[in-house]
Amino acid sequence: MDVYDSKDYRYARDWMKETLRLLDEEGHSSTVDLSDVYDHLSFAEYKLGNLKRAAHYTRLMLQNDPTHARAQRNVAYFEELIRTEPEKYINQDDERGEEGEGETAESRESMTQYERYQSLCRGPWPLPKEYDSELTCFYYDNHRTPSLVIRPVKVEVVFHKPRIFMLRGILSEREMDRLKELAGPILKRATAKNADSGKDEPAHYRISKSGWLSSKHDPLGYVDRIDRRIEDFTGLTMSTAEQLQVVNYGIGGHYEPHYDFGTDEASFTDGKDRNRIATVLFYLSDVELGGATVFPIVGARIQPFKGDAAFWWNLKKSGEGDMLTRHAGCPVLVGTKWVCNKWIHEGGQEFRRRCGLTPNEESYGHSL
Ligand SMILES: O=C(O)CCC(=O)C(=O)O
Ligand SMILES: [Fe+2]
């Protein structure tokens, strides 16, 4: 009922159909009224534009109660619509299909952004054919940076456009335990600015708890050490970066598609440290089921693996936001998910990462 009340008719339909299946299996129910299920199912189908199905379920309602006046009126109404606007409704029910039924490359093309996000969360999409021979992995010491000569970073290129790097085993168990321990007392329900009220409020599109770690509260120096490691493998200064942000998602926790960089003048783009040039996303836990990080525009998907980090550039060399980096944290279905963000800013990188000479220049070769 929750999804129905929140007008999420696609899911409402799925739940109602599951109810019908269980009723059928169990034969009866003392708490669920069959007619009520048909009634809601019919309205959900109507809202989804499937008039033939809406009419079908309303007729089933009438089988239970032939005198139901509203059901009689609705059947007449649906039939009238199908008759007067056949081109809009006649074949639609068969073509439209239902969520999850026979997803193909073509049907993916026509999905909305949000549907692509949901579909990617359910399972990986095949990588484009041209990736077959092109994904690489290497040990990386970033031009013989001393700490990395001793212990090079294991890098895997998992996507090309945008380039997404996985840094395997970049954090130790002890470091991850420490980050979670430091975050424990400061975790708060994540908020976002409400466009209407201007206040920071919990938002339905971001369900998690998070907290910012300051090295001041870490006398043992773990936070500084991790910052230094990021500086070593990216070659970027951390002096303008944000603090480490630890995030914990419970069951159902998620973060819907977004950009890490600021897309309007008000956020990041004008301050002295300017925009978020790159993201390092550490995975501090595995997730039993769900919880992948997905990039719905390009179809990339990263399953969290404890100790790894994902790295990507949010901005092109021109400083323009890379619109392909839109990404999301999928709902956690079983288990909990811990991640830690490091957002690196443009300020101070002028001599570390040169600008491009044309607005769209964006390729960085195979290294970070
Ligand atoms: O949890 C994830 O996988 C993604 C998190 C994220 O994108 C963010 O916190 O900005
Ligand atoms: Fe993000």
Q: Which of 61-65, 69-73, 105-109, 128-132 has the highest mean pLDDT?
A: 69-73
Q: Which of 1-15, 52-66, 128-142, 298-312 has the highest mean pLDDT?
A: 298-312
- Report the nearest atom of ligand 1 relative to the CA of 341: 9
Question: What is the pLDDT, as a whole number, of residue 199?
Answer: 83
Q: What are the residues whose beta carbon lies below 5 Å from ligand 2 (ion)?
A: 260
Question: What is the pLDDT, as a whole number, of residue 254?
Answer: 97
Choice among 27-41, 74-88, 352-366 with the minimum mean pLDDT: 352-366
Q: How far is CA 216 from CA 203, 220, 239, in A?
A: 30, 10, 15
Q: What residue ranges define each of the domains in the chain, with the CATH number in brackets?
A: 2-102 (1.25.40.10), 129-345 (2.60.120.620)
Find, among 312, 282, 284, the residue nearest to 298 by Cα. 312
Q: How far is CA 46 from CA 10, 79, 171, in A?
A: 11, 12, 51
- Summarize the confidence of residues 23-35 as an average pLDDT: 79
Q: Is residue 266 scored above 60 in pLDDT?
A: no
Ligand 1 pocket test, pick from 327, 333, 337 with the greatest ligand atom count within 8 Å of Cβ, gives 327
Q: Is residue 250 scored above 70 in pLDDT?
A: yes
The one-letter code for the residue type at 154 is K
The one-letter code for the residue type at 138 is F
Q: What ipTM score was computed for the predicted complex, to two decimals?
A: 0.99
- Report the nearest atom of ligand 1 relative to the CA of 254: 1
**What is the pLDDT confidence band of residue 49, given thresholds at 50, 70 and 90?**
confident
